[in-house]
Amino acid sequence: MGLSLISEEQARYNLGVEMPDGAGVEDVVDEPIDAWKSKTDRIQVQGSTEEQKRILYTGIFHASQYPAEHAEPIPYSDGSIKGVTLPATLRHGQEDKHKYHYYSGYTDSVHKIKQGLQRYQSWSLWDIYRAQWNLLVLFEPQRVVVMVRSLLDIYDESGFLPMWSTLAETNIMISTHADSLIAEAAVKGVSGFDMNKAWEAVRKDGTIPPEREFELRYEDREEYTPLEVHAGLTFYNQSGYVPLDGWPESTSRTLDYAYDDHAIAVFADLLDKNEEADFFHNRSKNYRHVFDHDQGLMAPRLKNGNFLVQPLPNPRGRREGFTEGNSFDYSFDVVQDVPGLAELVGSRTKLVELLDRHFAEGHNDQSNEPSHHIPYLYSLLGEAAKTQRLVRDISHEGFSDQPDGYASKEDCGQQSAWYIFSAMGIYPVNPVSGEYVVSSPFFERMEIAIPARIEGGEAVQLRIEAPGSSERVYVANLTVNGRSIVQPKLKWSDLLAGGTWKFDLADTPQLWGNDKTLPPLYA
């Protein structure tokens, strides 16, 4: 069966490209298997159960699927299929001579690709900015360049970067986390896209409110509305928060807008735009305006400044003012400024106590993304043993190799990305920081092939050794290429350097990462 979003004729042509004359059943079956094997083979593990291996490799498969390829080959004028783009096993020595085009729902028209051979679509940005994009930057750097170009194409076609886009914008979820994707790619050295246009796009996200901002509520999936972007931005910019009696999901909006302000500021710093960087850095502190000191939690706030108090009979229940969560999930949603959050709560000790309460009362919800970074916060507060224990427990309780093996839906690879990074013993709490918080690896040995950053560059091999990890959880010592790591944090450069990370593990909590004589390790 041939498929196309452009025309019936294009669908026939696509079928001929994908299954040319001379292609046998074996070729068609073997090619995708070989293609996926090239991705799963990047990570080899030892010292694990078969179930853990199946979860890991299924996760690599899931986390590599989105955003999805969307381009179609432009047929030759004579209708021939010579010189087509084919999988390596079917290409029979033919050279790719096609140009490509795609259907855009933003313009309801077909566009030729300006640069490269692909257009990416299906952007679950509220989910994937947390860790799945980080995984793509690590393992698919050359595809990531084209993905960023696709984001900028959407900006050209619609006037804004996408929020949650399929063929067109859906206005699902909140905020403009494409800002984070672009900033993270730039921070990690991804190039080959228009930096000036990228800056123009993210700056517009942070400064231009949507059409009819004060006429519409911008409810989730509300039909017949303009692009949502930062609904409530005018009030947020003036008063420091989005009010519940103006727009739904207001507390979550405030917190997400503050994080994206941080991402924009990081990108501005990279481009030496000092004045803009200062503006967005300052505004990234707006999370402070939705913390209710009486409740000791983040809470919805009204235009008059009053906070809303909501009972929570179900510890994982969803409440008004939040996106798929409640006051407990979102009280830790300040990955860009953990020191500021500790100060807001009262002290580092009080923040640890609030985390203890969060887990003891059953508020943590691995099935949804706002909880994904929370167990890792302990490591930043001098309580690394709690991170190590919790991450391992969550991996056992929230993942299996059964058909219902995830605590919830995959969310375009984010659930799997959490598992993959956690299996490596690290997690990107603040995605645009270029830093990773350390837990403890799931496997006794992982051999990881990290691809070259640019075409013609050199790949590197990373070995993560954690003898006894199947029984032991707690880190007693960590060395990176012989260098002793004192605090539970590693950098992007440590990944790209390759070499060997060696974890010494123990059965009981150790001093490593829990030494109260050291200053708190903040992201």
49 found inside a domain: yes
Cα–Cα distance between 448 and 42 in angstroms, integer? 6
Q: Which two tokens stand for residue 429?
A: 């709490």
Per DSSP, what are the bridge partners of residue 103?
110
Query: Are both 358 and 462 inside the same structural domain?
Result: yes
Query: Are both 223 and 355 inside the same structural domain?
Result: yes
The per-residue b/e assignment along 256-273, b for 16 or more CB within 10 angstroms, e otherwise, is bbbbbbbbbbbbbbeeeb
483 found inside a domain: yes
Residue type, 358: H
Q: Which two tokens stand for residue 489?
A: 């944090």
* Whole-number pLDDT of residue 403: 83
Eight-state DSSP code of residue 80: -
DSSP states along 140-161: -HHHHHHHHHHHHHHHHHHSS-
Pairing of strands 489-491, 435-438: antiparallel
Name which of 280, 183, 298, 169 is nearest 225 in CA terms.
Answer: 169
Region label for 142, one of left (φ > 0), alpha (ψ between -120 and 50) or beta (otherwise): alpha
Cα–Cα distance between 7 and 102 in angstroms, integer? 11
Number of domains in the chain: 2
127 found inside a domain: yes
Q: Which two tokens stand for residue 375?
A: 């167990």
Domain containing 228: what range?
A: 42-70+118-506
CA distances from 356 to 70, 95, 221, 351, 383 (A): 45, 60, 35, 9, 11
519 found inside a domain: no
Query: Are both 328 and 201 inside the same structural domain?
Result: yes
Cis (ω within 30 of 0) for the bond into 431?
no
Query: Are both 112 and 232 inside the same structural domain?
Result: no
* Whole-number pLDDT of residue 443: 96
Query: Are both 98 and 191 inside the same structural domain?
Result: no
Query: Are both 218 and 309 inside the same structural domain?
Result: yes
Name which of 57, 47, 164 is nearest 472 in CA terms.
Answer: 47
Query: Are both 66 and 122 inside the same structural domain?
Result: yes
Query: Are both 97 and 181 inside the same structural domain?
Result: no
* Whole-number pLDDT of residue 84: 45
521 found inside a domain: no
445 found inside a domain: yes
Query: Are both 361 and 343 inside the same structural domain?
Result: yes
Domain of residue 438, CATH code: 3.30.2080.10
Return the ∠ at Cα 437 (arms to 436 and 440), rounded to 5°: 115
Strand ranges for 398-484 from DSSP E: 426-427, 435-438, 445-450, 460-465, 474-480, 483-484
**Residues in the chain, overall count:** 523
**Which residues, including other chains, have CB under 8 Å from residue 395's CB and lie 6 or more apart?**
419, 422, 423, 442
Cα–Cα distance between 153 and 149 in angstroms, integer? 6
Local confidence pLDDT in tens for the 523 residues of the chain = 889 999 999 999 988 888 877 677 787 788 888 888 889 999 999 998 899 999 999 999 999 999 999 999 998 765 555 444 444 433 333 445 678 999 999 999 999 998 777 999 999 999 999 999 999 999 999 999 999 999 999 999 999 999 999 888 999 899 999 999 999 999 999 999 999 999 999 999 999 999 999 998 888 778 888 899 999 999 999 999 999 999 999 999 999 999 999 999 999 999 999 999 999 999 999 999 999 999 999 999 999 999 999 887 788 888 999 999 999 999 999 999 999 999 999 999 999 999 999 999 999 999 899 999 999 999 999 999 999 999 999 999 988 888 887 877 788 999 999 999 999 999 999 999 999 999 999 999 999 999 998 878 889 999 999 999 999 999 999 999 999 999 999 999 999 999 999 999 999 999 999 877 666 665 4
Cα–Cα distance between 158 and 170 in angstroms, integer? 12
* Whole-number pLDDT of residue 373: 98
35 found inside a domain: no
* Whole-number pLDDT of residue 408: 72
Query: Are both 112 and 157 inside the same structural domain?
Result: no
Strand ranges for 109-266 from DSSP E: 109-112, 120-121, 123-124, 164-165
Query: Are both 172 and 280 inside the same structural domain?
Result: yes
Query: Are both 63 and 91 inside the same structural domain?
Result: no
* Whole-number pLDDT of residue 16: 86
Eight-state DSSP code of residue 276: H
* Whole-number pLDDT of residue 94: 45
Eight-state DSSP code of residue 305: S
User: Is 180:432 a contact under the CB 8 Å cutoff?
Assistant: yes
Cα–Cα distance between 218 and 223 in angstroms, integer? 9
Element (H, E) at 73: strand 72-73
517 found inside a domain: no
